Amino acid sequence: MARSPIPLFVVSLVLAVPAVAAPVYEVAVTAPGDVRDLLAEHLDVMKWREYDDMTPEQLERLYQAMPADAKDLLSTRGYFNPRIETAFTPASGSTPAEITLTVEPGEPVVIDKVDLRLDGPIRNDDDIERRERRALRAWTLKEGETFSQPGWDGSKKAALLTLLADRYPTAKLAESRAVVDPGTDKAQLSAHYDSGPRYALGALSVTGLNSYPRQIVERLAGFSEGDPYRQQTLLDFQTRLQNTPYFASVFVRADLDPATADAAPVNVDVVEGPQQKVSFGLGYSTDSGERGEMNYRHVNVLDRGWIFDAGARLERDKQSAGVQLALPLDEKLYTWGGFARYEHEDANNLTTDLYRYGVSRSRTSRDIDRSISLTYVGERASIDSEPGSNYREALMLGWAWTRRDLDNPLNPRRGYAWRVELAGAVEGVLTDTSFIRSYAKGAWYLPLGKKMGRMILRGEVGQVFARDGNDVPNDVLFRTGGSGSVRGYGYQDLGVKEGNAIVGGRVLGVVSAEYQYPVIKDWAAAVFADAGNAAENWQNFDVAVGYGVGARWSSPVGPLALDLAYGQRDARIRLHFSLDMSF
């Protein structure tokens, strides 16, 4: 067979020793790049270069064993017919001994056939053909590809995992063979698996549960006795338990005794966490100024696993306090909750007192959050330049849906997150005027390469459909501006002008593009452009543009942003500081 010439690279690896000591010996390897790296890292003769007590006899044995050692290493990469040449130059005076290795690996061995078979009780399954196809898809060494030892080991493991994860957790590799024909440079691979017994999930056994009702664990199981064993089912069960506030640690496993395969007991070991917690916080941002907050949580009210939260937050322009009570997850993994909240805000010459009371039903599954709610909003608002105040109210039925697919929730570099909200109220039912509120926002994180940074694209759009917008609470309407929206403008400076105040508008639109370039570890420089506004209607929508530069720090609690932005409409430069969190 004719062989195409392969470019050869030469590396000389020299023992590094202190100036007072002579090197023991030197090794020079001549081979193609990938082969050279393999030999330089794993040859025995390379590993002993720094052994100061090396004797001539020991060095001779290493030299004589080097060809066989090299051949064994090359076989792991599919090279079974290499040409290997060696040379040895003894030490002379102050010149150390030199070993030379020259390798032409030849043609790699190609996979000619793969024989994969599943034996045992699995052959009685109705879907045995599908299981075999699934195991073969997991097999990474395909026919026609180059043989390698890592690929051979990885293929056997990947095919076995398809059995272990679904109904056959005690499956094992019964026999495997890789037959290589050096004359044809082809390999025949075979792997036979013994499935072992088919397993089904049995009763729950819970240990470590002292303070909480057992139903909290049972409701989160997500399976019934007799369901087929699936590893993902147990992992999801463990994750749901870990995501509750009740436990400091959770471990879920099935008892894999073949004698109980028809109903394998599921053991749940938990360590309970503290039931009550008080936390405090301090902070600062250019939007809200100084901030202080205190929160209290009790996760086992009346020994029923009810979760009670209370908190208060003080900011420069806004003060709030609220309470919330949430019930444990039910069998469908939904949680019911009720809340009451008061907020006082004085911003942009508009003073509001807001009262919110409501109930909700919500569910979180993997990367999706969904909820429905019934919320009463009562708002008393006054404009500084106008006497008196007015009170608006609405009883809203709302729905919200959030989808996240992010590589890191605190500091995402790849993926997206978006949220959709829809709410409505009917005049006369604790509501001043009928309306429908729609809102959506999204963020996309696009990596451009490790050294080129990333792009971040954001967008928001919303509209309130109402016969009379003056009777809709400001909290339901839209304002924008500041960090996280349109930079270059003050916090909620963009909206509808009324007297000397900025009030909410019925339409909202915001778009943003930002490029972040990595500078040093955990730090990046940013350039950005934002555009958007909130207005009474789309006909009066006047886009406000802001752009600028900034710095980003990937802190342990999330990315911190410091921006210098120019607001084109106001012809003003503003400094923005914020803690960027994905929603």
> Any idea how long the chain is?
583
Q: How many CB atoms neighbour CB 224 within 10 A?
A: 7
Three-state SS at 243:
coil
Q: Is residue 319 part of a domain?
A: no
* 188 and 208, same domain (yes or no): no
104, 136, 170: which is the final residue of a domain? 104
Q: Is 571 exposed, middle or buried (0-12, 13-18, 19+ CB in 10 A)?
A: exposed
- Alpha-carbon distance 62 to 94, whole Å? 22
Instruction: Indicate the helix (H) or strand (E) that contains 269.
Output: strand 264-272
Single-letter amino acid code for the residue at 439: Y
Residue 82 and residue 34 share a domain: yes
Say which CATH number the domain at 224 has. 3.10.20.310
Please tell me the distance from the alpha carbon of residue 108 to that of residue 35, in angstroms, as a whole number: 12
Residue 417 and residue 543 in one domain:
yes
Residue 29 domain-assigned (yes or no): yes
Q: For the range 205-210, what are the long-range contacts, defined as Cβ-Cβ under 8 Å and sequence gap of 24 or more?
A: 205/265, 205/266, 205/267, 205/268, 206/268, 206/270, 207/267, 207/268, 207/269, 207/270, 208/269, 208/270, 208/271, 208/272, 209/270, 209/272, 210/272
* 94 and 169 inside one domain: no
Domain that holds residue 335: 329-579
C-alpha distances in angstroms, 406 versus 366, 368, 460, 582? 12, 12, 19, 9
In a domain, 316, yes or no: no
Residue 297 forms part of a structural domain: no
Give the CATH number for residue 545: 2.40.160.50
> How far is 65 from 88, CA to CA, in rounded Å?
13
Task: Check whether residue 228 and residue 131 sit in a common domain.
Answer: no
- The closest of 36, 38, 3 to 102, measured between CA atoms, is 36
Same domain, 551 and 494: yes
Within 10 angstroms of residue 240's Cβ, the number of other Cβ atoms is 20
d(C-alpha 215, C-alpha 219), whole Å: 6
Same domain, 157 and 224: no
Phi/psi at 222 (nearest 5 deg)? 80, 10
- Residue 159, CA distances (Å) to 16, 126, 145, 169 in order: 45, 19, 17, 13
The bridge status of strand 454-466 relative to strand 435-447 is antiparallel
pLDDT in tens, the chain (583 residues): 444 443 433 333 333 333 334 457 888 888 888 888 888 888 888 888 878 788 888 888 888 888 888 888 888 888 888 888 888 888 887 788 888 888 888 888 899 999 999 999 999 999 999 999 999 999 988 999 888 888 899 999 999 999 999 999 999 999 999 898 878 888 899 999 999 999 999 999 999 999 999 999 999 998 999 999 999 999 999 999 999 999 999 999 999 999 999 999 999 999 999 999 999 888 788 888 888 899 999 999 999 999 999 999 999 889 999 999 999 998 888 999 999 999 999 988 889 999 999 999 999 877 899 999 999 999 999 988 677 778 999 999 999 999 999 988 877 889 999 999 999 999 999 999 999 999 999 999 999 987 889 999 999 999 999 988 889 999 999 999 998 899 999 999 999 998 889 999 999 999 999 999 999 888 999 999 999 999 999 999 999 999 999 999 887 766 788 999 999 999 999 999 876 444 3
Give the list of residues 6+ apart from residue 303 with CB closer than 8 angstroms, or none.
211, 212, 213
**Residues in a beta bridge with 194:** 119, 172
CB within 8 Å of 555: residues ≥ 6 apart: 522
309 falls within a domain: no
Return d(Cα 252, Cα 264) in angstroms, integer.
Answer: 13
Per-residue pLDDT at 565: 96
Closest by Cα among 535, 540, 530 to 578: 530
Rounded Cα gap, residues 382 and 352, in angstroms: 7
| Domain count along the chain | 4
Domain end: 194, 229, 263, which one? 194
Query: How many C-beta atoms lie closer than 10 Å to residue 222's C-beta?
Result: 14
Is 128 within a domain?
Answer: yes
d(CA 146, CA 7) in angstroms, rounded, equals: 19
| Residues 429, 560 within the same domain | yes
Nearest to residue 358, comparing CAs of 418, 297, 463, 430? 430
Do 562 and 487 fall within a single domain? yes
Q: How far apart are CA 304 and CA 444, in angstroms?
A: 41
Sheet with 97-104: strands ordered across = 9-13, 25-31, 97-104, 83-89
Based on the fold, state whether residues 172 and 206 are members of the same structural domain. Answer: no
Residue at a domain's end among 145, 165, 194? 194
Residue 306 maps to a domain: no
| One domain, residues 382 and 524 | yes
Task: For the beta carbon of residue 96, count every other beta carbon within 10 angstroms.
Answer: 18
pLDDT of residue 369: 94
Q: What CATH number does the domain containing 77 carry?
A: 3.10.20
Domain assignment of residue 317, yes or no: no
| Secondary structure (3-state) at 123 | helix
- The answer on 505 and 457 residing in a single domain is yes
Q: What DSSP state is assigned to residue 159?
A: H
